[in-house]
Structure 1
Amino acid sequence: MTARLIAATWHSMRHPTRRGIALTIAAVPALSLAYTLALVPFTPRLGDIRKARVDRPALILSADGTVLAEFKPVNREWVTLSQISPHVVDALIATEDRRFYQHHGIDLRRIPSAALRTFAGARQGGSTITQQLARNLYPDEIGRAPTLTRKLKEAITALKIESVYSKDQILETYLNTVPFLYNAYGVEMAARTYFGKRAADLDVLESATLVGMLKANSTYNPVLNPERALERRNTVLAQMLKYGKLSPPEYARLNRQPLNVDFEPQAEPIGTAPHFAVQLRRWLTAWADRNGYNIYSDGLVVHTTIDSRLQAMATQAVAWQAGQLQWIASGTWNERTGCWPGNELFQSFIRQTAEYRTARDTGLSDQAAIRKLAQDAAFVDALCHSKTQIQAGFVAIDPRNGDIKAWVGSRDYRDEPFDHVQQARRQPGSTFKAFVYGAAFADGAQPGDTIVDRNVAIALKGNAVWRPTDPEPPTGRPMTLRNALAFSRNRVTAQLMQREGPTKVAALAREMGVRESPLDAVPSLALGTSPVTLKEMVSAYCTIANRGAYVEPRMVTRIEDRNGNMLAEFPAARPEQALPAAAALKLVDAMRDVVNRGTGSDIRTRFGIHADVAGKTGTTQDNTDSWFILIHPQLVAGAWVGFDDARVTLRNDYWGEGAHGALPMVGAFYDMALRARVVDAHAQLAPVSNPSHAGHARPRHHFLFWRF
């Protein structure tokens, strides 16, 4: 049967009839039409096209109504057609689509001539501006391959666009969405990038230059390829002459002019809380995907918990103290001390570089490669600078509801986008001791209970022994838990850890807020040997301030549409009692003494903070990490200071301590917040059970040398 059918088909092809020929000719357009119609469902829907033109990025607001950020997909500022120079429109239409106002998305007259030129070897695109817009808006749906299917999808989408938009709207959308290199999208950003002016102020030559780039951005880049860009610009001017947009004298004068590019890449505005905004964008994108919204086009208005005043204070405090510490670090790490080839650590830095690997690939030995690179002063300076930049993180949270009020992830987001609040995991040092004492107080211990201050040897697995030490020799006398916490005594804390058990302490830390970082339940955990994030630690200290109740941190309170209609509301999380309230009150009372007379006393004596506060300093081995967290009934703030490479330290026991590295950031922040009355200076953490150390009286010394 199959053989007979094949034979019959072959016979008909060898001996066609008139009727067969007619049917075949008629079938070609019918099949083409059927194929085209079959592609319609695979092109963007009209609703998608209506939404695509609307550039309404999500607006991110602080709790007090200031704009923190706008979530744009690219570095673009949308402008109306009336805000674009008419020279741009004239150049675009004359060059790309001279019959733009006569066709309905597809220029049927242009297609045959474009095909003939292509077959003749001079390839010419037949795409209209509307077809190009379709391709720019929907690259995934339409594709880029030079196939018939792609051209048909492009044509179908162009017809849909023309049915939705007016010609002026199409031009406006096209000119606001085309890319121009250097992260400049749209004609407004291109005008600023290449000519240092607004799109409305572009002259004929500048307009022709930008329109000329549309054919091939890289090829006609006026910065890197000025000769080609000039040639292409003059081609555009010739088209404008041809179609009556320029007079012959104008053309003769203009095509002899230089490019006159005024190049300056346009950095995206980072806002006042950039690291917070990065975290929020991830959260908001997930929320929008679940609920059918687009963060770039639906005009969402997101109300966050950030207080713009506190954010500014935190940024100022971090910049001030980090600048002071950088001066010390730069004096410690320079070509005469740290950053020189004889330093083994600096040699290891060199070995991590691409330049070192390249030198080794040429056949140089390890030492020869190091000697060669060490002779390059620019290389040494750049490497030293990158490794010895002080970094910091700062976050402040309202313990009553978990609202994040300030978030500074690094000294400068442009130089260091890595977030030291949420991303960085560092050893918390003695700030972790709060969980050891919290566990003890939960088990009935009192701040006045004593443990002998003596040398301790704690057996570990594998016959290892842990011997915690303190800067001061052991006294051999009983020391109260209050004093051990106030003066951060490691030997007493280690003994308390033995009594409570690492597993119990680790579990309590997780309940109180350290919920993402893994904790190694070993005795040394008491001194903060398991890396955690600053956000986790401050969140856990909020639990202390909130009488033992953990409240999950919150970034957003509500989301509205652009008309103010409520789309979603996010109430504060339900409190979870992680630490008994009585134990939390004991812990607060003992931690008051840290700032009243212990390692954090600079809060009182240097910064003159008289409010009811408590806190804890933290310093890791070799002064690698410096921590300080301060709690207030309405605000808990913490700071971390260090280097991204943990092998780099300040090499100074004084400045490397939490009391002198991180504490000044927190102290300066609270001083500003209290003076501005953003937080209540009279709020009480809890009843004071040790009045002699209350710390509310004015301290004898009040130095304001932290001032800017």
Structure 2
Amino acid sequence: MIYYRDGRTVLATEGVNRKNVPLTQVPQVVRSAVIAAENRTFYQDQGVSLSGTARAVWSTVTGRQLQGGSTITQQMVRNYYSGLGQERSIGRKLKEIMIALKVDRSKQKDWVLERYLNTIYFGRGAYGIQAAARAYFDKDVQNLTAAEGAYLAAVIQQPTRFANPTGAALDAVKARWTSVIQGMREIGAITREEADAQVFPTLARQRAPLSLGGQNGYMLAQVRAELNRLGYTDEDINHGGLKVTTTFDKKLMAQAQQAVKSVLPDDTPKKVRTGLAAVDPATGEVVAFYGGRYETNQYDNAFSAKVQAGSTFKPYTLAAALEAGYGLDTLVYGNSPIRIGSADIPNSGGRSYGQAITLLQATQFSVNTAFVDLGQRIGLDKVVAAARAAGIPAGQLAPHQSAATLPLGVASVSAVQQASGFATFAAGGIHHEPHVIRTVTDSTGLTRKFAPSGTRAFSENTAADTTYALEQVVRSGTGTAARLWDRPVAGKTGTTDESAAVWFSGYVPQLAVAVDMFRDDNKPVTVPGYGELYGGTLPAEIWKTFMSTAMEDKPVREFPDPVTWNPYYWDTYGMAMPQQSGAPTAYPSGPAGSPMPYGPGDGVTVPGPDAPGVPGPPTGADEEQQGATGQDGEAGPRGGANGIGGATGPTVTGRSRDTGAPDAATRAAPETGTTRSDAGARRTGQTDVGTRRTGQTGQTGQTGQDGVDGQSGQTGHGGQSGPVAQIPGPQLPVAQVPAR
């Protein structure tokens, strides 16, 4: 039997329903009923029936249907010794006789009877007398009456026909029951008066067989697979009488299915597949999932299907950088494109976010170039190590471990793996392997508990900072559609090339959930009324719908404060900014010896295009065009910090994008530029507009903002001509972004 996580609600009957009991728990009158029905000379014979065997052999030789003719010992041998098999042949019968004779000489009769009563099939899916007592009379074996014991003995002859008899089958089983009662009287188990007083028993209503529809088929497949991984063989599962308690919450399973059904339009193309997985961060238990429509596709979308993670992979890169000593205030390259070797990697839509933006902003707005920059600076080996620590299998990372686009999510993962990975951050950096089984009780009553111990994947500080960055994604970045009104949410959107797969993965302190949508043919995921999807649209809406019901009546828990991000203020668009007081953050703020920026900065000399070292910023194209919006300078204790000139790069086709659904509060367009107006103070110099130029003239610098003591800010540096920003170093292969 397989149960939901409460250990009481039956999920399904898989394999054999059996619980072994000692012979002493079986009433003598029940033992006698079985002996009277099956083998009246059981305690006197040598374990075989020569006359019965002779009849069986004669029937086979003459071509007639082979008859049984087996003693209780022979039947026990056939059921107990799995290697003997159940085929109906003379060869098998002879093997059965030889083993039965050996058993009879070496074992006590009660030993044989106990194993027979615990292995014989009684119909209704019940193997053994205890399971039969429950199936037919809803009581334990020690409470059976003589009439009930006689019925179970009668059923052994035709267990399928007599399981729930009506009409002719009912007449036949009543006749058989009467014969057993008389046999009990004849062998002295009951008196004539007791036999005459027996009344045909009333059967308990047979439980309806559990359907594999809905998510049941997927659940059973995962339970069997995990039992195999835990060392249980198919023989154990099918004939061992196991009682398995799963991690699945029946209510949450229903809510997961309802969330998908209620959010997706009725005319969603059938080729669009949706997966959802929910993992408890404290234990790794998969408490709920949605695997698809089992009736039409037995390959589930939550455990088995793996698609490119897109930008939901970026948190692992962020965590790797934080572990290496970088902070959320570290500045990275935000303009588009960034060149690795001979390849240009753009941001979504070719947008530029600034020559130097913080890691927090890069995460909030899912800036591709910033994460490619970050991966090169910390080393892709550290990115791989971080993803592995969060539970992503090495085999899924290996094909992409040297690709510059690894931080952008070119590796394929399942919804369960991604929910488990994000659960690591929710658990303060402790990773628990995802699993679906809580306990297994065998037929002897021995119970094994399965609660994998967690391993430290990231420091608590890293987990806190990663969570804080992901909170900003939901607060005012690309994932605003996943906001919950009553509690904080951390999450990340993901949209692969041409929307071949779209994701939203997120968590609250008590639960991590991943939702993905994709097509098997790698075509764009489109839904009527939505067009081509992004991670911040339907996946985020499904996530929010499920999480709203899953967390209903659950206590609100807060995330820990960030460690490497100083107090901030929010501008009118909700963008997280560094503290206005104090010196501006150095670039970069990583460990000693970290690479210099790829463009101009305070005190940085930018070499010419052909000089070794750090190339200059990108120049404008030859035709007349407007420079990209520059980033706000930070205020110093007295004078304002230098503004950064807007940069213009070549127009390219985006390879990966993260676009959030418009926020109802701000109505901001998805993934707009990062420069915002300051609601807290009237100041100038916030927007740097490029001059009309031919690409040879540097951009106008940004006017510095007013210092806190009223002194005027410094004039921004003029932009210097240079090629598209390059990262010096070895040539690295570039994976397509992303092709599933």
When the two structures are superposed, what TM-score results if normalisation uses the length of structure 1? 0.58
CA contact (8 A) 1:299 1:562 kept: yes
Q: Which has the higher helix share?
A: 1
Task: Kindly state the Cα deviation for residue 446 of structure 1 after the two structures are TM-superposed.
Answer: 3.7
Where 2:348 maps in the other structure, the secondary structure is coil
Q: Distance in 2 between matches of 1:279 and 1:286?
A: 11
Is 1:453 aligned to 2:329, yes or no?
A: no
CA RMSD of aligned residues (A): 6.0
- Partner of residue 610, structure 1: 487
Among candidates 130, 133, 138, match of residue 81 of structure 2:
138
Query: Residue deviations 1:58-87, cap 9 Å, x none?
Result: x7673xx4436689662547899999xx9x
Task: Kindly state the Cα deviation for residue 428 of structure 1 after the two structures are TM-superposed.
Answer: 0.6
Q: How does 1:123-202 map to 2 (within 5 A)?
A: 124-128=67-71, 130-141=73-84, 144=87, 145-147=89-91, 148-157=94-103, 163-164=109-110, 173=118, 177=121
Is 1:532 aligned to 2:397, yes or no?
A: no
- Partner of residue 454, structure 2: 573
Q: Evaluate the alpha carbon distance shift between residue 179 and residue 649 of structure 1 in structure 2; reply closer, same or farther with a 3 A threshold.
A: farther
Greater relative contact order: 1 or 2 (C-alpha under 8 angstroms, separation 6 or more)?
Answer: 2
Is 1:331 aligned to 2:208, yes or no?
A: no
- Partner of residue 675, structure 1: 552
Task: Kindly state the Cα deviation for residue 272 of structure 1 after the two structures are TM-superposed.
Answer: 8.7
State how many pairs are aligned.
540
Q: Evaluate the alpha carbon distance shift between residue 244 and residue 540 of structure 1 in structure 2; reply closer, same or farther with a 3 A threshold.
A: closer
- Partner of residue 625, structure 1: 501
CA contact (8 A) 1:91 1:240 kept: no
CA contact (8 A) 2:274 2:515 kept: no
Q: Evaluate the alpha carbon distance shift between residue 609 and residue 486 of structure 1 in structure 2; reply closer, same or farther with a 3 A threshold.
A: farther
Q: How does 1:263-302 map to 2 (within 5 A)?
A: 266-267=209-210, 278-279=221-222, 281-284=224-227, 287=230
Q: Evaluate the alpha carbon distance shift between residue 301 and residue 185 of structure 1 in structure 2; reply closer, same or farther with a 3 A threshold.
A: closer
CA contact (8 A) 1:618 1:626 kept: yes
Among candidates 488, 497, 500, match of residue 366 of structure 2:
488
Q: How does 1:77-116 map to 2 (within 5 A)?
A: 105-111=47-53
The one-letter code matched in structure 1 to 2:274 is: Q
Q: How does 1:574-613 map to 2 (within 5 A)?
A: 574-577=455-458, 581-604=460-483, 607-611=484-488, 613=489
Query: Residue deviations 1:450-477, cap 9 Å, x none?
Result: 53422344446xxxx3543414644666
Is 1:437 aligned to 2:318, yes or no?
A: yes
Q: Evaluate the alpha carbon distance shift between residue 582 and residue 150 of structure 1 in structure 2; reply closer, same or farther with a 3 A threshold.
A: closer
Q: Distance in 2 between matches of 1:576 and 1:132?
A: 55
**Larger displacement relative to structure 2 (116-125 or 430-439):** 116-125
The one-letter code matched in structure 2 to 1:593 is: Q
Q: Distance in 2 between matches of 1:430 and 1:672?
A: 26
Task: Kindly state the Cα deviation for residue 242 of structure 1 after the two structures are TM-superposed.
Answer: 14
Percent identical:
22
CA contact (8 A) 2:57 2:90 kept: no
- Partner of residue 15, structure 2: 74
Query: Residue deviations 1:461-516, cap 9 Å, x none?
Result: xxxx3543414644666544333322223344334444444343223322333234
When the two structures are superposed, what TM-score results if normalisation uses the length of structure 2? 0.56
The unaligned stretches of length 5 or more in structure 1 are 1-56, 194-199, 223-228, 246-262, 334-383, 703-708
- Partner of residue 381, structure 1: none
**Larger displacement relative to structure 2 (580-589 or 112-121):** 112-121
Q: Distance in 2 between matches of 1:414 and 1:424?
A: 17
CA contact (8 A) 2:364 2:478 kept: yes
Query: Residue deviations 1:363-407, cap 9 Å, x none?
Result: xxxxxxxxxxxxxxxxxxxxx6xx45x331312231xx4432523
Task: Kindly state the Cα deviation for residue 598 of structure 1 after the two structures are TM-superposed.
Answer: 0.9
Is 1:321 aligned to 2:234, yes or no?
A: no
Task: Kindly state the Cα deviation for residue 663 of structure 1 after the two structures are TM-superposed.
Answer: 1.9
Q: Evaluate the alpha carbon distance shift between residue 115 and residue 472 of structure 1 in structure 2; reply closer, same or farther with a 3 A threshold.
A: closer
Q: Distance in 2 between matches of 1:556 and 1:124?
A: 43
Q: Distance in 2 between matches of 1:658 and 1:530?
A: 17
CA contact (8 A) 2:47 2:101 kept: yes
CA contact (8 A) 1:614 1:631 kept: yes
Q: Evaluate the alpha carbon distance shift between residue 542 and residue 121 of structure 1 in structure 2; reply closer, same or farther with a 3 A threshold.
A: closer
The one-letter code matched in structure 2 to 1:602 is: A
Q: Distance in 2 between matches of 1:548 and 1:114?
A: 68
Task: Kindly state the Cα deviation for residue 429 of structure 1 after the two structures are TM-superposed.
Answer: 0.8
Q: Evaluate the alpha carbon distance shift between residue 633 and residue 447 of structure 1 in structure 2; reply closer, same or farther with a 3 A threshold.
A: farther
Query: Residue deviations 1:291-331, cap 9 Å, x none?
Result: xx967888877777x4x6xx3564244223321455x3x62
Task: Kindly state the Cα deviation for residue 624 of structure 1 after the two structures are TM-superposed.
Answer: 2.8
Q: Distance in 2 between matches of 1:160 and 1:170?
A: 15
Q: Distance in 2 between matches of 1:421 and 1:646?
A: 18
Q: Distance in 2 between matches of 1:244 and 1:675?
A: 62
The one-letter code matched in structure 2 to 1:67 is: R
Is 1:396 aligned to 2:279, yes or no?
A: yes
CA contact (8 A) 2:372 2:404 kept: yes
Q: Evaluate the alpha carbon distance shift between residue 453 and residue 332 of structure 1 in structure 2; reply closer, same or farther with a 3 A threshold.
A: same
Is 1:426 aligned to 2:307, yes or no?
A: yes
Task: Kindly state the Cα deviation for residue 616 of structure 1 after the two structures are TM-superposed.
Answer: 0.6
CA contact (8 A) 2:364 2:477 kept: yes
Q: Distance in 2 between matches of 1:576 and 1:626?
A: 26
Q: Distance in 1 between matches of 2:545 and 2:468?
A: 23
Q: Evaluate the alpha carbon distance shift between residue 187 and residue 623 of structure 1 in structure 2; reply closer, same or farther with a 3 A threshold.
A: farther
CA contact (8 A) 1:208 1:237 kept: no
Where 1:331 maps in the other structure, the secondary structure is coil
CA contact (8 A) 2:515 2:543 kept: yes
Query: Residue deviations 1:187-216, cap 9 Å, x none?
Result: 9999999xxxxxx9x99xx999987867xx
Query: Residue deviations 1:660-702, cap 9 Å, x none?
Result: 232233323333344312x433453546745545999xx9869
Where 2:536 maps in the other structure, the secondary structure is helix
CA contact (8 A) 1:189 1:266 kept: no
CA contact (8 A) 1:409 1:418 kept: no
